[in-house]
Amino acid sequence: MSRSRSSGTTPIGSILIGVVQRLQGGGHPSREEIAGHWRRLAGEEVARHSWPCRLTQRRLIVEVENSGWMYTLGSRKAQLLEGLVELLGAGRVRQLSFRIGERKDG
């Protein structure tokens, strides 16, 4: 959103465009929304060993505990991506990547 140079305020048109985009699914989904969908799509067992890390430029990066889980998820990549697109809306997630990492939330 751009601000007016003279007054430091945001034009109402910019605010309305942002609101409409969010209502139509054009904004970024929340971390909680993505995590909930991931658990539903991947299943509870898989979700204990993998977690959505970041959504950048419509690419969801999912971290996994080890190479075995990376292989397991890699074999289901197309199915998982299709499910994410269906649940989050077209254009919000276009790619899915896996990498080995450590869960940061405990």
Phi-psi region of 89 (alpha: psi -120 to 50; beta: other; left: phi over 0): left
pLDDT digits (tens, 9 = 90+) for 88-101: 887 889 999 999 99
For 62-91, what is the mean pLDDT?
94
Domain count, the chain: 1
In a domain, 77, yes or no: yes
pLDDT at 7: 57
Helix (H, G, I), strand (E, B) or coil at 84: helix
pLDDT digits (tens, 9 = 90+) for 6-65: 556 767 665 655 554 454 455 678 889 999 999 999 999 999 999 999 999 999 999 999
Q: Flag whether pLDDT at 83 surpasses 50.
A: yes
Residue 62: give its domain's CATH number. 3.30.300.180
* pTM listed for this prediction: 0.71
In a domain, 2, yes or no: no
Cα–Cα distances in angstroms (integers) from residue 94 to residues 9, 47, 55, 78, in the given order:
34, 20, 10, 11
The answer for residues whose C-beta is within 8 angstroms of residue 34's C-beta and 6 or more apart is 52, 55, 60, 88
- Domain range for 78 is 28-100
In a domain, 82, yes or no: yes
pLDDT at 4: 44
